Amino acid sequence: MSSKRIVTCTVNGREESFLCKPQQTLLEVLRDELDLTGTKEGCSNGNCGACTVLMDGKPVVSCLVLAVECEGVELETIEGVADHGHLAPVQQAFLENAALQCGICTPGFIMSTKALLRENPNPSEQEIRFYLAGNLCRCTGYDKIIRAVQDTADHKIA
Amino acid sequence: MRDFEFEAPATLDAAVALLAEHNGTARPLAGGTDLIDHIRTERLTPDVVIDIKKIPELNILEHSADGLRLGAAVSCSRIATDETIRQQYSALADSASIIGGIQIQNRASMGGNLCNAGPAADSTPSLIALGANCVIAGPNGRREVPVESFCVTKGQTVLERGELLVEFKFPARPSGSGSHYRRFIPRNEMDIAVVGVGASVTLDGDTISDARVSLGAVAITPLLAHEVNDALIGKPATDETYKASGEVARSIINPITDMRGTREFRIHVTGVLVERVLREAVARAKS
Ligand SMILES: Cc1cc2nc3c(=O)[nH]c(=O)nc-3n(C[C@H](O)[C@H](O)[C@H](O)COP(=O)(O)OP(=O)(O)OC[C@H]3O[C@@H](n4cnc5c(N)ncnc54)[C@H](O)[C@@H]3O)c2cc1C
Ligand code: FES
Ligand code: FES
């Protein structure tokens, strides 16, 4: 049997060390070891984007990352988005635009949106749709999500 | 997931030694976008997973008068945003920006795409069209293999036990050259190619002086379409030439029928894509 490893990385600005086996995905460790259950599991094979987190600032699907690969990296998850209990503008925009129904896709969409707006503060609708193509939503039909992203970019939400 | 050990060697020699030591039971990990799911579903059952992303040679992205050196583990995002690749090796940037969504592109490498040896791999036709060679390291030293000879059959490559793909070497782009990759999928993004076509052309005035066309998803491995190249070289860069080349492409393939498309549909689409890809490659050569 493979032995457990100690991995040290930054999660939402705090240094964390955790024990994990080589075959544990980052998604499993976030949810089951670090109790960060805001990151969701949809497909477990990279297709749905529900498990999206930012690794050194870039969106990745945490179901296709081994936790042992995270030594020394910076991770951002949905738990780090709100500011001291106050919704961040992107979260407020999702709420106000009714950009979610069941909500399982939302943490992934919000993490992808954060990365998009950092790279490109004024994306066109086409750019938003392409950037978010790796995030699937079975409920909203996407239009409301696109509007929420546009409102966040336009600073319509304080 | 099944149990395995994990190693992340910092040098190429250490990686080759580890692969040799485990004699066929170790598997390299680049972006993991194929490998992790293959282990999860037990299509692959390695005892050791060797992360090769920390090895400097596999992360090289270097332009010089000799051409381009591209490490096997460089991510698609890095490829798609490299300005010189976008301008000179555009087909490569085309491929890198359609493999999966942004989350996949941030991890997936062209080395992984090629070593996975899928018939519909989206980077392989571009690598072939741009004349890339694979640099392979193993227990007996180094060797080079052109990309079109790298995949033996679906899921199988020329890599021997203990060997690793290190980098791609591309020749410098002659002036007046352009390239493009395009695939047909039923959606706008996030799907597997029904047919994929990569092409590189060089113009001498309005005459095509050199051409390399590669076809994906129409055979067990992506092909270098010699007959199509022959139909282009020395011809004027006109719609008639592209159409005739599309017909040649249709006549040399032997695609299968599957859930993504029938054999007849694939043959038809191949001709259409060859025409469109050539038109765009020529437009880029002129600009
Ligand atoms: C949601 C999703 C969408 C996708 N969309 C596309 C798409 O549109 N087009 C497409 O072509 N593919 C697609 N893929 C497949 C995959 O992302 C690509 O094949 C990718 O390029 C693989 O690269 P990687 O670095 O992640 O490889 P890995 O998963 O790390 O490795 C792939 C295989 O190659 C071996 N390997 C990797 N590097 C080396 C090396 N240097 N030497 C020897 N062996 C090596 C590994 O052992 C493994 O067997 C998609 C996958 C997912 C999950
Ligand atoms: S759970 Fe990771 S992409 Fe679906
Ligand atoms: S809100 Fe239900 S999947 Fe998106």
Sheet architecture: strand order including B223-224:
B177-184, B195-204, B207-216, B223-224
- Subunit contact A64:B102, Cβ cutoff 8 A: no
Which of A69, A114, A130 best tests the B interface by mutation, with the highest count of B CBs <10 A? A69
Q: CA A93 from chain center: how many Å?
A: 16
Does B10 contact A at CB distance below 8 Å?
no
At residue B186, the pLDDT reads 83
Based on the fold, state whether residues B30 and B133 are members of the same structural domain.
no
Do B98 and B129 lie in a common domain?
yes
- Look at chain B and report how many structural domains it folds into: 3
Tell me if B225 sits within 8 A of B197, measured CB to CB. no
- In the prediction, which pLDDT does A157 show? 64
The answer, yes or no, to whether residue A158 has pLDDT greater than 60, is no
Residues B255 and B281 in one domain: yes
Q: How far is A6 from chain B (nearest CA, A)?
A: 12
pLDDT per residue as tens digits for the range B49-87: 999 999 999 999 999 999 999 999 999 999 999 999 999
Q: Which two tokens stand for residue A20?
A: 């994990």
Kindly list the structural domains of chain A, giving each domain's residue range(s) and its CATH number in brackets, ordered by start. 5-80 (3.10.20.30), 89-154 (1.10.150.120)
CA pair distance A48, B10, nearest whole angstrom: 33
Q: What is the ipTM of this complex?
A: 0.96
Extract the runs of DSSP E, i.e. beta strands, from chain B: 5-7, 26-29, 48-51, 61-64, 67-71, 133-138, 141-146, 151-153, 156-157, 164-171, 177-184, 195-204, 207-216, 223-224
B198 and B159 in a common domain: no
The predicted pLDDT at position B96 comes to: 98
| B100/A60 Cβ within 8 A | no
* Residue A41 predicted with pLDDT over 80: yes
Say if CB A42 and CB A134 are below 8 A apart: no
Q: Which residue ranges of chain B lie beneath pLDDT 50? A: none
Residues from chain A that touch B3, judged by Cβ atoms under 8 A, are: 1-2, 21-23
Scanning chain A, the segments in alpha helix (DSSP H) are 26-28, 89-96, 106-119, 125-131, 143-153
State whether B138 and B165 are in the same domain.
Answer: yes
C-beta of residue B112 within 8 angstroms of C-beta of residue B35: yes
The CATH number given to whatever domain includes residue B199 is 3.30.390.50
Same domain for B77 and B22: no
pLDDT of residue A89: 96
Going by C-alpha positions, the residue among B98, B130, B108 that lies closest to residue B211 is B130
Element (H, E) at B231: helix B226-232
Measured between alpha carbons, how far is residue A3 from residues B47, B70, B224 in Å? 13, 35, 46
How remote is the CA of residue B170 from the centroid of ligand 1, in Å? 21
Evaluate if residue A4 carries a pLDDT over 70: yes
Q: Burial code of A11-43, b = ≥16 C-beta within 10 A, e = fewer?
A: bbeeebebebbbbbbbbbbbbeebebebbbbbe
Please state, rounded to an integer, the average pLDDT across all residues of chain B.
Answer: 96
Last residue of a domain, one of B122, B142, B171: B171
**Residue where a domain stops, chosen among B171, B193, B214:** B171
pLDDT in tens, A52-105: 999 999 999 999 999 999 999 999 999 999 999 999 999 999 999 999 999 999
- Percent over 70 (pLDDT), chain B: 99
Q: Note whether B113 and B201 are same-domain residues.
A: no
Give the model's pLDDT for residue B116.
96
Residue A130 has what DSSP assignment? H
Residue B183 and residue B282 in one domain: yes
Residues of A in contact with B102 (CB under 8 A): 59, 112, 115, 131, 133-134
Query: What is the per-residue pLDDT for A156?
Result: 73
Q: Please tell me whether residues B81 and B116 are part of one structural domain.
A: yes
CB-CB contact of B91 with B179 (8 Å): yes
Q: Is B94 helix (H, G, I), strand (E, B) or coil?
A: helix
Pair B121, B197 in one domain: no
Contacts of B49 in chain A (CB under 8 A): 22, 66
Q: How high is the pLDDT of residue A3?
A: 84
What is the DSSP secondary-structure string of A20-37?
E-TT-BHHHIIIIIS--T
Q: Which two tokens stand for residue A55?
A: 């690794």
Q: Which two tokens stand for residue B10?
A: 């910092």
Query: Does B51 contact chain A (CB < 8 Å)?
Result: yes
Cβ neighbours for A157, distance < 8 A, ≥ 6 positions apart: A89, A92, A93, A96, A151
CATH number (domain holding residue B47): 3.30.43.10
Task: Please state the separation of Cα B263 from the chain's center in Å.
Answer: 23
Mind listing the pLDDT tens digit for each residue in B189-226?
Answer: 667 899 999 999 999 999 999 999 999 999 999 999 99
Q: Take atom 19 of ligand 1 and give the residue whose Cα is closest.
A: B113
Q: Can you give the CATH number for the domain in which B63 is found?
A: 3.30.465.10
Ligand 2 pocket member A26 (CB < 6 A): no
DSSP B74: -
Best mutation target, B22, B74, B103, to test chain A (most A CBs within 10 A): B103
- B37: nearest CB among A46, A66, A135: A46
Same domain for B87 and B13: no
Answer with the one of B171, B198, B227 that is the final residue of a domain: B171
- Whether residues B154 and B183 fall in one domain: no
Range(s) of the domain holding residue B276: 177-286
